[in-house]
Amino acid sequence: MTLFISASAFSQIKIDMGPNSPLRKLQMAEFAINNLYVDSVDEKKLVEDAIRGMLDKLDPHSSYSTPEEVKKMNEPLRGNFDGIGVQFNMMDDTLLVIQPTLNGPSEKAGIIAGDRIITVNDTAIAGVKMSTDDIMNRLRGPKGTKVKLGIKRIDISELLYFTVTRDKIPVKSVDAAYMIRPKVGFIRIGNFGATTYNEFMDCVKDLKKKGMKDLVLDLQGNGGGYLKAAVDIANEFLDKGDLIVYTEGMRAPRMEYKAMGNGKLRKGKVAVLVDEYSASAAEIVTGAIQDQDRGIVVGRRSFGKGLVQRPIDLPDGSMIRLTVAHYYTPAGRCIQKPFKKGANKDYAMDVVNRLKHGELTNADSIHFADSLKCYTLRKHRVVYGGGGIMPDYFVPLDTTLYTKYHRELSAKTVIRDVNLKYVLANRKQLQEQYESFEKFKQEYEIPQSVIDNVIAEGEKKKIKPKDDNELQQTMPQLRMQLKALVARDLWDMNEYFSVFNESDAIVLKALTELGR
């Protein structure tokens, strides 16, 4: 959860630099090491290690980031970056364009799905074992600058050259939005960034035009982001004066966030989907809807991050994200899961431990202390704090759904690579045969030849099923995954999730409980 501190506020903090102050002691230690140590030292790294050492002793979410890490971390939250605007995958050491960004620089220049980028400013990037980061550094650049791309296009022997003028490229935080059933909309939010609320409201407006009355809000795997984005979205569901969340810390006075009563989603049924990776801002939205009895929560117990971080920008562009407060749901729950200071490795293993203890597969394995008991504000249902948000309807993780064989094929990119080659070779034919996604969803089936290629490519990487039973058990999910990937590559993420969600147990449970 991210809040901001202004430079002026930080400058007003009084710093004790007296002869016996701990800060003076730290400064003298750094001075002595840098000037008297027997060998040369990297002063910059020395200071960074000292900062990390201090933060590691606090809590799992206070952290230090270098200027480079800050830039990468902020891109998905800021909502844009400067570049050429393509969705891509690496295939056979070559950058393959999945889709150019709609109305983006590459599409305007004439680049199309299926193109392979071979050269950047006459420098080869294909077949030279160049890292993805190096390739991205060559493609990205300030808005308004130009880059010359050498493109290999299917059925054309010679390279095609395009000059692309870089521009601001939007980074969407809403992964998908479509009508999943008559009168029921589906919106999946990947994170809570600067543009999330506006993206969300654009989707709501569009879905309402298509007849949406009820909503499935998918926050599975959503790791959080900005507090303001979470509050703004929760506001859309609640009545005026309803408490959304409040924050409080030893040096941070209580601050309450309440609904303004102007939300566009105050009527209709709502189901919020969460899992063990839903955290922070995702838990704020979920907690507000659950505590105010505005909708149902479906899935598995959420991550349990109830701490608020404040970014402190340092002069060289690096950043400290310091925990300054807890946040509490409307019923007064702090859903931060327990942790020992300095034991960050154990904290990171929590989800693995939940699986080992059966918490992801059996609701009866999840135990809350009576001291953590709270009550929802309207129906006075029992809810608990102290370790994530427990859904109203628990959906166990099906550990048999994906076989070990399937997981290995995915992990070693066999499924992705076979799909990319298939779509690359058959895109035109598929687009002509399936002029609409509705027809594709109803009629299309993955050809057996594609399945055979997956098996063959797996064998080349020494991936084999243990027996015929495992192979047959793998087939339904493998075919579904491949169909979803083909839909994504021919259209976009809405179509991917439209296929994928029909086998997602949490989504299907939500639809059942909504009466759909």
Enzyme catalytic residues: 280, 291, 305
Give the number of C-alpha atoms closer than 13 A to the C-alpha of residue 26, restricted to the C-beta side: 12
Quick one: tokens of 422?
Answer: 């298939």
174, 200 Cβ separation under 8 angstroms? yes
Cα-based torsion angle of the residue sequence 185, 191, 196, 200 in order, rounded to the nearest 10 degrees: 0
503, 480 Cβ separation under 8 angstroms? yes
Each residue of 237-253: b (16+ CB within 10 Å) or e? bbeeebbbbbbebeeee
Report d(CA 485, CA 371) in Å as an integer: 47
148, 120 Cβ separation under 8 angstroms? yes
Identify any residues that bridge with 445 across adjacent strands, giving them in sequence order.
none
Report d(CA 282, CA 277) in Å as an integer: 10
Total count of residues recorded for the chain? 516
Cβ neighbours around 448 below 10 Å, total = 9
Phi, psi of 265 (to 5 degrees): -125, 35
Please list the alpha-helical segments (H only) found in 81-154.
105-109, 132-139
305, 221 Cβ separation under 8 angstroms? no
Strands 296-299 and 307-313: unpaired
Quick one: tokens of 83?
Answer: 């570049």
454, 399 Cβ separation under 8 angstroms? no
3-state SS, 483-495, equals HHHHHHHHCCHHH
Quick one: tokens of 25?
Answer: 């002691």
Strands 296-299 and 270-274: parallel
